[in-house]
Amino acid sequence: MGFITIFLVELVAQQVYPLPSEVNLQDPEAMGAYMANAPMGSLVLVLMAYALGSFLGGMVAARLAPNKKMVHAIVVGILLLLAGIANFYLLPHPIWFIISAVIIYPLMSFFGGAMGSRDMP
């Protein structure tokens, strides 16, 4: 759920802030140069994707877990964080973005897990 949500929100972000036509997605240097000068709004939308994906992923994990619901939610956050770290390794990102994402993944999966752990009618 988390990966799907992040993917869908990032698709919306690409519609709002499309990549310039001269940026080659297969060239890490070109992508790095773009990331260094990316519009602030596009980076904030990506962080929102991470937050929403982590929240929903944690909530679904907690809802589906038979016991230790919060552990399952935190595992989702850790898995998303590891995927994010791999992304940061492959493409350079601004340091403020990396710090924000490292905080967002586990925190929002925790909040999602807390929400998913509640008894609902």
Domain ranges (residues) in the chain: 37-121
- Position 97 pLDDT exceeds 70: yes
Assign 61 a pLDDT band (cuts: 50, 70, 90): very high
CA separation (Å) from 106 to 25, 55, 97, 101? 29, 9, 15, 9
pTM: 0.87
